[in-house]
Amino acid sequence: MRELAEPTATDGDTPQQPPLLVADDVRTYFRSARGLVRAVDGISLSLQRGRTLGIVGESGSGKSVLARSIMNILPQRSAIRAGGEIRIEGREIRNLPRSEMRKLWGLELAIVFQDPMTSLNPVIRVGDQLTESLRLRLGMRRGDAADRALELFRSVGIPAPQRRLREYPHQLSGGMRQRVTIAIALACEPKLLLADEPTTALDVTVQRQILDLLVARQRERQMATILVTHDFGVVAGRVDDTVVMYAGRAMERAPTALLFTAARHPYTDALLRSIPRLRNRPHTRLQAISGRPPDLVDPPVGCRFAPRCRHAQPRCLTDDPPLVPAEAPGHEYACFYPVGTDEGAGALERNLRAGQTAAGMPITPDAAGGRP
Amino acid sequence: MAQPESAAVTAEPRAEPGSGAGERHQRPGAARYGIVFWLAVAWLVIIGCCAAFAQWLPVGDPEEINVRDMLLAPSAEHLLGTDGTGRDVFARLVHGARVSVVVSLAAVAFGMLVGGTLGIMAGFFRGRFETVVMAVVDVILAFPGLVLLLALVAYVGQSLTAIALVIGFLSIPIYARVARANTLSVAEREFVLAARAMGAKRRRLLVSEVAPNVVLPLLAYALVATGVIIILEGSLAFLGLSVQPPTPTWGSMIAEGKRHLDTDPHVAAFPAVVMFLTVLSLNLVGDRLRNRFDVREANV
């Protein structure tokens, strides 16, 4: 299925067409009592029509804020669009007024939120929540909208759709509710779908069903999709490219398969090592990343990951590493001492010999291990 | 029944156990609320019927004075006895329900409509509009209620409509506050953002996303407030400022019965008991309904 869909999406029409989404050095800050929170601090990415992108990062790395920046639905009072451009089909949208944005919302851009418990209106029947956008945005008549709603419910795998349409959100389980929010997001056939941790609030078996559903609908409609998650398992095998975010920055970007086999950034590497694996013996210690993400009000000078990085060298504490291309096309990383290179191996060795990194974090060899 | 359905859906999703929550909500109503609730509802229905059909009910003339029969004890002829001027207490109670019901319903409707609208808009649009509305509301709230009520009644007059409107006006601030507080929390919820991200206009967000979620708690509050207003009307009548005599009201009956408390307590006691039961019933029903709404929101 995948092999069939990909050539038409990438090789066929992308060279001539401009990317659907271009984000250039996007910065989104928030006012807080303690000062400016630099939630997204200079992210660039681009996405072709019909392609899928994963954004992975731990809590507080700015991935949800990035998704909301792209949607342009940041809270009006506290958010500051501190810089950068976001273009949809070549059109700058960062500073579009609400009335102009409304022409894009739903029709070009749609979003599925994390928690289906809160993203559906509790006092309105789910069918009405769905037909409302069909009627208002697409100008459908009541009867047509009802037929289309039924069809959408079927397409997202809701059993007994006719009956479910007349139910309230509290009558549906979490997985069913998330299917409803996906149906609503798909209602007007958007060109770009953002899914902001769409399965985090669901239990594991349902997670898989929802993710597979998203991927199936994405392939069927050739709809560009951004999947935001904190879980590498979610992006594996489901998205074309993956961006790893940390403290509001992109640490590494690569075709997803490559990221799992040839991660360059020590942060990506550490994240991959921390995934529990079935082939490990029982009671194997997980390799956690020590420390906490930096304070986004006052991020560290130099590389933001340096205080927790096993490779950290003096240079990492003063200079901010730019994104540089790796050997493979489409692979970029922001590190002076990347994993899998002589520089990186040398840096790790120096730190192991000293017993601590340049940032003063103690490290021991036993946790270093081989690549998983 | 379950067999073919689960077979049909195994290919895509498994049938999820959502039906359990549905069944809990479909239990028959009578069992869920208990006997006290239904007694309270029955009492309110009786009061409502009295108010609506008083002149067609076989209860005699509430304004017919018969000095010979004054202060009679309850008997077959006068079910609840007679008052200081020989008027039938039962007939007066039935007719007095009209004033209480009309005033409380009209006042609640007026207060909720105006106060609720102002509160929802203040909570939704924020900014200068909110500042102005809430400032006015606070000023009205800070004013001693009864004094303002007396002043307004003296100015507007003592007709049924005027009294209902004045009491309704006085309850605007409370509804505005309740509505604003609920709006503030509802407007932050994700489904409002989700609707915005689907391109809904602000007016649409206000009317179809926020307002339906604010109306439920507001209604539950209004039911309890109805009781308060019945008491308030009683106080006005007691002070002689409600609807003018000889129209019977529960409050004026208590005020009139006060003179005979030591000899014939039934004249004041019957209207007091009726008023008590009515307010109690309203509170019981209001509480129960509010619990139901809360449970439902907690489920969601």
Q: Where are the domains of chain B?
A: 34-299
Predicted confidence at residue A286, as pLDDT, reads: 76
User: Which chain A residue shows the shortest CA-CA distance from B211?
Assistant: A123
Does pLDDT of B6 surpass 60? no
Contacts of B200 in chain A (CB under 8 A): 132-133, 136
Does pLDDT of B20 surpass 50? no
User: Which chain B residue shows the shortest CA-CA distance from A184?
Assistant: B198
Distance from the Cα of residue A117 to its chain's centroid: 21
Is the interface score ipTM higher than 0.85? no
**B84/A254 Cα distance (integer angstroms):** 95
Does pLDDT of B40 surpass 60? yes
| pLDDT tens digits along A274-321 | 887 778 777 777 778 888 888 888 888 889 999 999 899 999 999 999
| pLDDT tens digits along A11-25 | 444 456 788 999 999
Does pLDDT of B46 surpass 70? yes
User: Which chain A residue shows the shortest CA-CA distance from B300?
Assistant: A170
Predicted confidence at residue B114, as pLDDT, reads: 93
Predicted confidence at residue B76, as pLDDT, reads: 66
| pLDDT tens digits along A107-133 | 899 999 988 888 898 888 999 999 988
From the list A133, A160, A209, the residue facing B198 with the nearest CB is A133
Predicted confidence at residue B294, as pLDDT, reads: 59
Domain with CATH 3.40.50.300 in chain A: 2-246
**CATH 3.40.47.10 matches A2-246:** no
pLDDT band at B16 (very low <50, low <70, confident <90, very high): very low
Does pLDDT of A242 surpass 90? yes
Whether the CB-CB separation of A71 and A111 falls below 8 Å is answered with yes
Predicted confidence at residue B85, as pLDDT, reads: 74
**A338/B87 Cα distance (integer angstroms):** 100
B5 touches A at CB < 8 Å: yes
Report the gap between the CA of B129 and the closest CA in chain A (Å): 16
CB contact set of B166 (below 8 Å; sequence gap of 6+): B149, B152, B153, B156
**A265/A335 Cα distance (integer angstroms):** 6
**CATH 1.10.1500.10 matches B34-299:** no
**Cβ within 8 Å, pair B300-A122:** yes
From the list B22, B194, B296, the residue facing A113 with the nearest CB is B194
